[in-house]
């Protein structure tokens, strides 16, 4: 089987590469992180044509809607509200096999904006091939992974092998806006006996990732001329005091929580705004920060511990005691962890080794992705693997190495044959 797949891949690789190039040439940018909409329809339309040409038994459009995201916010602390969903829909394809077992490959067709095209070596929507790489927006993140999964089905059929089970493809929208597309897919019942999220992993298998909570903390003070500083209250100074309290909480977490695949929980202040002039004591300061937390911790716990740390800090300050800051959460996503003793992990290891001849390194990721949705909400055994390097995601001159893309096709094909038999 190994030789048949390798020989067939070599014979048909130009076709498989051309499909990826054509998908890269489709402008599928998220607009304003999905709040202003998205152009995914361009890519979804192309994929629907590919699925029909391949003879998929089912090809379904599933529009994104706000009511599902509201449900996920209330039930799972997931989802990002108030996005524009006009013309935006997921596409699900199904290829039936001879057996009862199933596998689903998940990928997002949306990309980050290209930015200024003048900063690119090549047109970001041209899909130019140079030095064994394919350049373009979304080449790595993650059109290569999505197309590799589709071409894995094509490879098996090109090799004259019958599918041993059902293969499903879920091409979703609005992942770059926070993962709303996969939430819609999971809530609407998309699932399988196992799921692969095809995000780029650079020849490593991701079996866990951190959860996250974005906080906004607003602090008030009293504005006066800086020469009368003693009569005012500096909101920036009070905010720094709160930041120190949160650093102490992070240090306690560092000593408390250990994970074999993931770093300790941490918080990062990414935005600070306040004040109008050096000659004025500021009466307002706002920080926005992201907390990353491990599996085993919960959203409720993180919010409670952050809130408690801020409250305790305020109780020891004469001004803050009577003027508590406003604390709100504006985005969150849960952590993910796959049981490494599950048979799917072993089958993936075997499929990988057969395809590339190397042992598989299993790791965790500090960044979250849609793996959490398929594992936590759809309740499917889930792993993350795909062609490309994290360094290329959201980067100018984004590219994917052709060898990684072709190897991913072979790995996925092996996985289908071994898992579904």
Rounded to the nearest 10°, the torsion over CA 92, 124, 403, 182 is: -30
If asked whether residues 43 and 154 sit together in one domain, one would say yes
If asked whether residues 155 and 301 sit together in one domain, one would say no
Is the pLDDT at 154 greater than 90? The verdict is yes
Count of structural domains within the chain: 2
Confidence class of residue 310 from pLDDT cuts 50, 70 and 90? very high
If asked whether residues 237 and 249 sit together in one domain, one would say yes
Residue-level pLDDT at 367: 87
Is the pLDDT at 390 greater than 90? The verdict is no
DSSP-assigned beta bridge partners for residue 133:
130, 401
Is the pLDDT at 1 greater than 90? The verdict is no
Distance separating alpha carbons of residues 397 and 399, to the nearest angstrom: 6
If asked whether residues 47 and 116 sit together in one domain, one would say yes
Distance separating alpha carbons of residues 407 and 30, to the nearest angstrom: 28
270 token code pair: 């990414």
If asked whether residues 318 and 364 sit together in one domain, one would say no
If asked whether residues 256 and 398 sit together in one domain, one would say no
Residue-level pLDDT at 166: 98
Q: What angle do CA 186, 383, 260 make, to 5 degrees?
A: 125
The mean per-residue pLDDT over the stretch 245-249 comes to 98
If asked whether residues 97 and 49 sit together in one domain, one would say yes
Is the pLDDT at 197 greater than 70? The verdict is yes
Choose the final residue of a domain: 333, 352, 381.
333
CATH of residue 358: 3.40.630.10
Characterize 47-60 residue by residue with b for buried, 16 or more Cβ atoms within 10 angstroms of its Cβ, and e for exposed: bbebbeeeebeebb
Distance separating alpha carbons of residues 269 and 252, to the nearest angstrom: 18
CATH of residue 216: 3.30.70.360
Is the pLDDT at 415 greater than 70? The verdict is yes
pLDDT in tens, 221-235: 999 999 999 999 999
Is the pLDDT at 261 greater than 70? The verdict is yes
pTM for this predicted structure: 0.94
Choose the final residue of a domain: 274, 309, 333.
333
Distance separating alpha carbons of residues 171 and 265, to the nearest angstrom: 31
Contact 415, 347 (CB under 8 A): yes
Choose the final residue of a domain: 268, 302, 333.
333
If asked whether residues 114 and 158 sit together in one domain, one would say yes
If asked whether residues 173 and 107 sit together in one domain, one would say yes
Range of the domain at 245: 211-333
Q: What is the mean pLDDT of the chain?
A: 97
If asked whether residues 341 and 281 sit together in one domain, one would say no
Residue-level pLDDT at 116: 93
pLDDT in tens, 332-385: 999 999 999 999 999 999 999 999 999 999 999 998 899 999 999 999 999 999
Residue-level pLDDT at 278: 96
Residue-level pLDDT at 254: 96
If asked whether residues 329 and 247 sit together in one domain, one would say yes
Contact 416, 150 (CB under 8 A): no
If asked whether residues 118 and 223 sit together in one domain, one would say no
SS3 305: helix
């Amino acid at each position: 089987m190994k030789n048949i797949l390798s020989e067939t891949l070599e014979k048909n690789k130009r076709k498989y590469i051309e499909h990826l190039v054509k998908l890269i040439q489709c402008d599928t940018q998220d607009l304003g992180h999905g709040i202003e909409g998205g152009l995914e329809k361009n890519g979804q339309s192309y994929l629907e044509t590919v699925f029909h040409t391949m003879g998929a038994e089912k090809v379904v459009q599933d529009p994104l809607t706000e009511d599902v995201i509201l449900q996920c916010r209330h039930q799972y602390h997931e989802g990002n509200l108030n996005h524009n969903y006009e013309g935006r829909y997921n596409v699900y394809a199904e290829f039936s096999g001879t057996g009862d077992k199933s596998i689903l490959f998940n990928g997002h067709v949306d990309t980050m904006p290209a930015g200024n095209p003048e900063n690119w070596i090549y047109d970001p929507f041209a899909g130019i091939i140079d030095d064994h790489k394919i350049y373009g927006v979304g080449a790595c993140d993650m059109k290569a992974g999505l197309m590799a999964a589709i071409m894995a089905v094509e490879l098996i059929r090109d090799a004259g092998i019958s599918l041993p089970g059902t293969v499903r493809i879920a091409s979703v929208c609005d992942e770059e806006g926070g993962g709303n597309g996969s939430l819609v897919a999971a809530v609407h019942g998309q699932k399988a006996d196992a799921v692969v999220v095809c995000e780029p992993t650079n020849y490593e298998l991701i079996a866990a990732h951190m959860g996250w909570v974005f906080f906004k903390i607003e602090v008030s003070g009293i504005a006066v001329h800086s020469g009368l500083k003693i009569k005012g209250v500096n909101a920036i100074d009070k905010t720094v005091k709160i930041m120190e309290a949160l650093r102490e909480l992070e240090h306690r977490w560092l000593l408390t929580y250990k994970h074999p695949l993931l770093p300790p929980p941490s918080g990062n202040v990414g935005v600070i705004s306040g004040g109008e002039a050096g000659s004025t004591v500021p009466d307002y300061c706002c920080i926005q920060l992201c907390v990353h937390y491990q599996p085993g911790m919960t959203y409720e716990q993180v919010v409670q511990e952050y809130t408690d740390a801020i409250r305790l800090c305020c109780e020891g300050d004469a001004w803050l005691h009577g003027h508590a800051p406003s604390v709100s959460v504006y985005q969150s996503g849960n952590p993910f962890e796959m049981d490494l003793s599950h048979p799917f992990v072993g089958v993936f290891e075997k499929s990988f080794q057969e395809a590339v001849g190397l042992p598989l390194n299993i790791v965790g990721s500090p960044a979250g992705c849609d793996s959490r949705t398929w594992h936590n909400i759809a309740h499917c055994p889930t792993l993350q693997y795909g062609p490309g390097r994290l360094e290329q995601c959201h980067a100018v001159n984004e590219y994917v190495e052709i060898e990684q893309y072709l190897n991913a096709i072979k790995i996925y094909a092996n996985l289908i044959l071994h898992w579904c038999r």
